[in-house]
Structure 1
Amino acid sequence: MTSAYSDNAVTLHQNDLPDGLTFTGSVAVDTETMGLNPHRDRLCLVQLSAGDGTAHLVQLIPTRLGGTGYACSNLKRVLADSSLIKIMHFARFDVGILQQALGITVAPVVCTKIAAKLVRTFTERHGLAALCREILGVELSKHQQTSDWGAPTLTPEQCAYAASDVLHLHALWARLEALLEREERRELAQACFDFLPSRARLDILGYDEPDIFAHRA
């Protein structure tokens, strides 16, 4: 494991988190992949933040390109830690790709997208950029969203973009959790969050379509 890039707020690690790096209570998590099909597209990057204004990015490099693939024991330990809440946005996808690629169960999880849909029923804008703008007053750039995350060397612009997807999740979840409490939907949200690892496994098995919860005549 090596650190390939670092500035005051962002550190890029290759292959795994460094020994001794720990998180307590909760950690914001996001992923970057080669596409949106977990059966076809590889997991390239995992971003984590303790909510302290810093982000750790783990670039997962295939063995054929000189890396260690998904042999990332420190990262797996963090993501599978049952005492650590993972804060995500659109956790259904991130939990699915992490469980598929790393062979772990990612739990417990909270999802800011689900939370937003439960309490912000006056709008259809539930994307991370829209929520950060409207709730936190923070503008996120999405210019690097469709860049090549499988490149052997990530640019500073890619690293800054990837970090931005986790740096604000703690603050966003705090605001959304307060809204869930206000609207008496916190318990319902928790039931949705608890189901996410199983929902992700159903997706991987191909039960996203047809959805086994949908009615068919």
Structure 2
Amino acid sequence: MSQQNAIHLHDGDLPEDFDIGPVVAIDTETMGLNPYRDRLCLVQLSAGDGEAHLVQIKPVSMGGRGYDCPNLKAFLSDDSITKLMHFARFDVAVLQKAFDITISSVICTKIAARLVYTFTDRHGLAYLCRDLLGVEISKHQQSSDWGAETLTDDQKRYAASDVLYLHALWDKLEAMLIREERRELAQACFDFLSARTRLDLLGYDEPDIFAHRA
């Protein structure tokens, strides 16, 4: 696969009538880990076909459109599209906060891994891709400046790698969930993600309202 040909960079929004299938891997890059403080800079999408679509979100101060991206918002809000994510709790919160939308029909490979990969505490995307798929993902650009006006080729390749393998990873994890009779439990967790992220955005990550305190 030629990564140069597989990466499509979109400025500010998706094209009209964008359609890459019913199951789409999605990831985000932000300026930090606080959805209230740190702006969303990039949204990555892939159909699992070796191609990645990157939507760069630039603020008005940089000559961009900010969060005025109706095609992307409509795509993310479409309940008929299954969204594959890794650590969806963060990505869903970022997207719901930035675009003021509700995202449903989500599958989280990190939750799936935690339900069946109980023999290890390593559930990061790079580890799982290496262990289950034999694919090495470099994380060197993870903490780079995603708010820059122009993204480097290394940044684009890194961003693409976060979505290119999620379909194959989910196939492996779903088979394990079925084998261990936890597929239904996983789905219940996935269905709760939108509400869980709303609780996070309201400040209920701590204290945890589900925890018992005397």
**TM-score bin (small chain):** over 0.9
The alpha carbon displacement at 1:19 in A equals 1.6
Quick check: 1:186 aligned with 2:183?
yes
Spell out the pairing of 1:9-158 with structure 2 (5 A cutoff). Answer: 9-158=6-155
> Can you list the C-alpha shifts for 1:113-163, whole angstroms capped at 9, x where unaligned?
000000010001100000000000000000000000000110000000000
Conserved 8 A contact 1:45-1:59: yes
The alpha carbon displacement at 1:173 in A equals 0.4
Q: Which runs of 5+ in 1 are unaligned?
A: 1-5
Q: Which runs of 5+ in 2 are unaligned?
A: none
Conserved 8 A contact 1:87-1:170: yes
Aligned length: 212
Give the 3-state SS of the residue equivalent to 2:5 in structure 1: coil
**Which stretches of structure 1, 4 residues or more, deviate above 4 A after TM superposition?**
none
For residue 74 of structure 1, what is the amino acid of its counterpart?
A: N
Conserved 8 A contact 1:11-1:56: yes
Conserved 8 A contact 1:87-1:110: yes
TM superposition score normalised by structure 2: 0.97
The alpha carbon displacement at 1:20 in A equals 2.8
Mapped partners of 1:209, 1:134: distance in 2: 33
Mapped partners of 1:148, 1:118: distance in 2: 33
- 1:204 is matched with 201
> Can you list the C-alpha shifts for 1:17-56, whole angstroms capped at 9, x where unaligned?
1123213221000000000001100000000001110000
- 2:164 is matched with 167
Give the 3-state SS of the residue equivalent to 2:29 in structure 1: strand
Give the 3-state SS of the residue equivalent to 1:68 in structure 2: coil
TM superposition score normalised by structure 1: 0.96
Conserved 8 A contact 1:47-1:166: yes
Mapped partners of 1:28, 1:107: distance in 2: 13
Q: Identity of paired residues, percent?
A: 70
